[in-house]
Amino acid sequence: MTPDDVMQVGNNAMWIAILLAAPILLTALAIGVAIGMVQAATQIQEMTLSFIPKLLGVIGVLVLAGPWMLAVVLDWFRELILDIPMLLG
């Protein structure tokens, strides 16, 4: 296994991690910004007000994108397992 192989596997793993985290993080960010604008407009500065909408949004994204996320991880893992003989030489 050459250093280039290790870098390629690590690069793919990081790309998969970013790809899987992006929908969840972007949803939480969008909901947080929207709630923050409402709080700023109404001058309600309650910290717990944004927690429930963010939680529901993240759960909704996991329900909707969960099968896709699982398929991405399984495809990458299957590819990694099948590449083991080539990586070992």
d(CA 39, CA 80): 47
Average pLDDT over residues 72-83: 94
pLDDT at 7: 92
| CA angle, 73 then 25 then 51, to 5° | 125
Average pLDDT over residues 63-89: 92
Tell me what percent of the chain is helix, strand and coil, each rounded to the nearest 5: 90, 0, 10
pLDDT of 8-55, one tens digit each? 999 999 999 999 999 999 999 999 999 999 988 988 888 788 899 999
pLDDT at 89 > cutoff 80: no
